[in-house]
Structure 1
Amino acid sequence: MAKEYLNMPSDETELAGCIADATGPLAIHGGGTRGITVDGTPLSTSKLQGITLYEPGAMTVVAQAGTPLSEIETALVAENQRLAFEPMDHRGLLGTQGEPTIGGVMAANVSGPRRISVGAARDFLLGVRYVDGMGRIVKNGGRVMKNVTGYDLVKLMAGAHGTLGVLSEVSLKVLPCPETQATLVLHGLDDVAAIQALSKALGSPFEVSAAAHDPAQKQTSLRLEGFEASVKYRIQSLQDLLGGETSIEQDSAARWVTWRDVQDFADVGEDVWRVSCKPSVAPALVAKSGATGARYDWAGGLIWLRVSAGHDLRTALGSYDGHATLVRGTGQPKFEPEAAGVARISAGIRGRFDPRGVLNAGLMG
């Protein structure tokens, strides 16, 4: 292998060579903005850059895995399109540098507030090219939504954090930007009442695209997007449905960027956890979590918690239908330990994709 690309290959062939020639664990990363560290020789995909195909009419974009997310978003905005799943930028929360990459977004299945209405990042992934743990280049899926060849494998790569294969290229479905957006804010609700209101709004026909609650401010936010007349009508309808004290924020894009990136927790030196659960149990989980701060997203299906350093949140929460991920902090496993049966299945899958155990070894169990 040529030494000049030992840890930073410039194309897929070199990436395959790096993995095939590895004699020990590899620590895979893209832009390095998510703060994930594992033991092993660093291997960066940051030089695998460039949009290789963009067809606005087909609402499809294909890009190499190391392409900065900002480059893709700039190209989409020029055609009045966007990544619908609204990926979070972790840099403020984690104090990291670098540029988020599209490969990193897909490897971690990073999805923002709009997930509640349109789905997760993986739901927009049409196809992938990746290199497995033996250094073999694999292509799966296609460039249009109707092509479902290898559909399950494409979805499997999203959220695997590089443990099954190193993404080299991704194909994505994109969506048009809406004409306008606005946010209805409900004031003064406690956590239980807020979750009930959010659930009621999502169960209505008024097409809410984001639903969040800030306990500290007692503000419950519902975002609506689309044509201006439609947004105006739907907000009025929600006011009538939900009642109580409300206000309307017409230009609320900045509000949702702040919420998406959990900016309120950025400058506080405590651990930060991300808890997925049933919305109906979210207030009870927060109440017994021992958290010093909380944020509800996805109508309560996602909770961000700020806790004292080293606090054993999983023990505090006890048994519930969901899982907790340590996003910022040390002293606890990052991912929820798997039940014995699930762990055996996961190990079997990793054994097929990475029989030598060189790709981000130990990261997910």
Structure 2
Amino acid sequence: MAAALLLLLPLLSPLPGADTVSTLRETIVQRGASVTIPCHYEKKYKRHVKYWCSGYHWDNCKFLKRTDSPITDSDKVSISDDPSQGVFTVSMWRLETGDSGWYWCAVEIKGYETPDDRVYLYLTVTEDAGVPYVVNPTVTGQIGGEVSVQCRYGNPYRSRQKQWCRSGDWSSCQTAGSPGTAGHGSVLITDHTAEGLFSVTVSGLRPEDQGWYWCDISDQQLPVYLKVTEAKTTATPATTSQQTSSAVHTAPPTGQSSSLPPEDKDNGDEGGEKHNANSGQILLRLLIACGLVLLLGAAVIVAWKMWRRKKERRRNEEDAEQGQINSMDSTLPVSDVLYAAVSFQKKALQQEEAAPDPDSGVTYSSLCFLDNTAAPSRPGGVGRAKLSDTAVYSAVAHRPR
């Protein structure tokens, strides 16, 4: 009984800032998953420091993260403030069952007699695989179109009440089976108990519909962020609905997961165009460089071929000159012929008359060719001529008696 009273104490005690700071009351996640909690505040707190702390008693609340503290990669908790929407969000990752407990959304006032504005909630981390979860914690739709949100649950929650609420506004909650409006959009809520699926379709979207919502299943609020963008195509609302539904009907994770809403990147198309332009310039420079390399290579090849042709032409000319010299050397030069001088001597008349020679009336001469193939007599010297073995005999003259 005493333990039950302790659990009810935060609900029975007066809560400072209950009208200026608000959040969900209770949420549940599976072990190992993550969760994002939206904390709403009034515009007068736009420039104030916001923080997230844990503990049953406010006086002993342990600071976990502040908007003026740095965020490191090793942090298990992160905090982000959006003054334009009047909401700061807290994300917790890799949750364990020991992380279950009371947590506080608080705004620092910096007054000695004025306490900080704050509101509490209870987080349950369980190993039960049948806990409710949102299929897609962040959904996007275009102005005038529609978007669908799907929240799944296990058998223990089939007969429980399901509601769709605008975060921070409990009066906006709508029960499954009762069509109504959320902001300016039309809402259709359907509970498929056989499938364990609680679906919400919001149509006729307007910019005012952007913000945080809850899938409330058996008093467990599951945060969902709805982002509304301008229509950039001529697609009809029906087409937009099909595209959104296709994105939502993905396989559910093993447990509930949640993340901060993505930042609005209006300059995405412009960045893409710049990236494409830079890629085109780089490609053009590469093509120009390749063309220059090819031209240089072609010039080198042409120069080499011209040099080679010139060298062959010069070699042919030298061979032709050498051929003429060889042809001249092949003929019989005057120096290679040995002439035999023939001289006539007058004999005494008395000898002629005394001993007549029957062949004295004919003078013979021999003609021989020199053989130049003889080895030189000494290095660098001229070879000694050698008479050819073949001799030609001919009658030169006949002397009358």
TM-score (norm. length: structure 2): 0.22
Which structure's residues are more often strand, by fraction?
2
Which has more radius of gyration?
A: 2
Which structure's residues are more often helix, by fraction?
1
TM-score (norm. length: structure 1): 0.24
More relative contact order, 1 or 2 (CA 8 Å, 6+ apart): 1
